[in-house]
Structure 1
Amino acid sequence: MAQKYDITMKNIFSDMADDIMSYFLGLQYTKIDELNIEFARVERRDSDMIFKCTIDKGNVAVHIEFQSENDGKMPYRMLRYSLEIMEKHNLIPYQIVVYIGKDNVNMVNSLSYDFGEQNTLDYRYRIINVGEIKFTEVIKTDYYDLYSLLPLMDKNRRKEEGEKYLERCVEAIKGIPLDINKKKDIAFKAEILSGIVYKREVIEKAFMEVVRMFRIEESETYKMIIEKGIEKGAQQEKIAIAKEMLSEGISIEKISKITKLSVEEIKKLIN
């Protein structure tokens, strides 16, 4: 996806991998190992998620990319990724792009040409548009890690209900039958991801009670972000993180607490 969430990408989505493969893809699988590949030939970036899994067709590499914006070059990127996976791990890649953006999906999911049987290409991967997933369908399941994505789901209902929909998502997270620490983590991720489609003041209002109730700053994801260098990182890194959090709708006070930048320093970034 775009670089907006690179800092916390794996922390936000790592716990969702099993639920995504089971619920979104309907895969019956056994996860063997996580494969960390830096796509040096492509963009010198780490993959979002790649897992070596056993499915009914044998061992495969399940490759999941998250995208918050439409990218016309996505098919070329995904094809290059697939070649890297096959070359380095000798595994057939099962590739998925999970689209979490605000706009409608207008990316294609294939590349093809045909110059006769000696020179053809027919390449495809799957795009899952989270905005098309129904709120009511997900909350009927026990795929609780997917509740972090609820604010981005059910686009039509979200548009009709506005901030009421976000409040409904918060209530669903509060009602999850899991221990408080897991709920903290899911709520924190949902709050961050809400920034893709909601304005800051709407997010703060919707999550006000749950932040106070769960003490979100104690969530494991929150702690991991700090451990990754937010607390002791260089000034430029802190500023970059603060800018991203501002765009995600997180309050200035909370950003100050996380990054250790002053409120005045953060206010100067709002332009």
Structure 2
Amino acid sequence: MPENAGSRLQGSKYDKILRENMQVVLPGIMEKVFKLDVVKSKELKDKIQITRQKEVDALCMVTDANGGSYILQVEFESGNRPKMNFRMAEYRAMLHQMYDEPVKQYVMYMGKEALNTPCKIDLPGFKYEYELISFFELPYELFLSSDEPGEQVLAVLANFGDKDPFEVLQEVLRKIGKDTPEGVNKYYEQLRIIVQLRKLDKQLEKAMEAVSTFWRKERDVLFKWGKREGIEQGIEKGIEKGIEKGKEEGVHEGQLKKALEIAKEMLVEGEPLERIAKYTKLSIEEIETL
């Protein structure tokens, strides 16, 4: 059964977040999840090119406490991949061909559905296996105890045990806000995306309300994002009405649409009506209808 293209597109959102945080996330995962005693690590090019190019999530040369060196490859997957075993086997063959070093491979599963991704190949003359780990099998405290906010947000993918998801989300929000006063909005935005994998959007909204005294709602990117989305939806309706009105009055649709689109952007950015009117040549009344 071929992988769904929409599923791959959806998964790219989560891949992007992991890639953004990889430098701070990977050391903790190597130690706490993979149980590797790494004392030295050097990032390798994550684009493997032999006859075709393949991009991996994390690739580095590491040295452990016993002096052993090997290549570590880590992949993060948001859904089950029926052919993941062959994909990882292909990676491994390429890595050996390129570097001629021992290789350790791990795939970390972020999805909510039951894990059924194959992690081995058992065919005549072809035996292969890699390490497959589900976030849901790991305690959320493993990630929340980290000093790195990029690692803390991964707590929402782990196992909450007997804890209510609402309480866990509150813990994560407080931890991020306390440890990362600068740039906190970046991690709140990442959290908003990652909770979709666990369908905890509504619980996150409630948790944000509960910790609003700790971190003012007006400064929270989630609140601003929702507010902006609402504004844009309202403006879109206004643009449609404006175009229809323009058609009735014989105004060129293209010119009007361009002016209304510019007015939309300026409204979202909070520009004064007078400035928008001067710039777009629209009347105050037309802009107010947006």
Q: TM-score, length-normalised on structure 1?
A: 0.67
Q: What number of residue pairs does the alignment pair up?
A: 223
CA distance in 2, matches of 1:213, 1:20: 32
Map 1:1-271 onto structure 2 (within 5 A).
2-6=8-12, 8-9=16-17, 10-39=19-48, 44-55=53-64, 56=66, 58-114=68-124, 120-140=125-145, 142=147, 145-154=150-159, 156-157=161-162, 161-175=164-178, 178-181=179-182, 183-207=184-208, 209=212, 212=216, 215=219, 252-253=226-227, 262-263=232-233
CA RMSD, Structure 1 to Structure 2 (Å): 3.6
Unpaired runs of at least 5, structure 2: 1-6, 238-290
Q: Which residue of 2 aligns with 1:245?
A: none
User: In 2, distance between residues paired with 1:73 and 1:30?
Assistant: 33
The alpha-carbon distance between structure 1 residues 112 and 172, as it changes in their structure 2 partners (threshold 3 A), is same
The TM-score normalised by the length of structure 2 is 0.63
Q: Which residue of 2 aligns with 1:230?
A: none
**Long gaps (5+) in structure 1:** 115-119, 218-249
Of 93-102 and 103-112, more deviation after overlay is shown by 103-112
Amino acid at match of 2:111: G
Shift of 1:25: 1.0
- 2:39 and 2:151 map into 1 onto residues whose CA distance is 20
Q: Render the CA deviation track for 1:230-261: whole Å, top value 9, x for unaligned.
A: xxxxxxxxxxxxxxxxxxxx95545699xxxx
Change over 3 Å in CA distance of 1:266–1:20 after alignment to 2: farther
Structure number with greater Rg is 2
Change (3 A) 1:70 1:266: farther
Distance across 1 between alignment mates of 2:228 and 2:103: 40
- Aligned-residue sequence identity (percent) comes to 18
Cα offset, 1:18, TM superposition: 1.1
Match of 2:252 in 1: none
Counterpart residue identity of residue 153, structure 1 = A
Letter in 2 for 1:167: Q
- CA gap of 1:90–1:168, structure 2 versus 1, over 3 A, is same
Greater relative contact order (CA < 8 Å, ≥ 6 in sequence)? 1
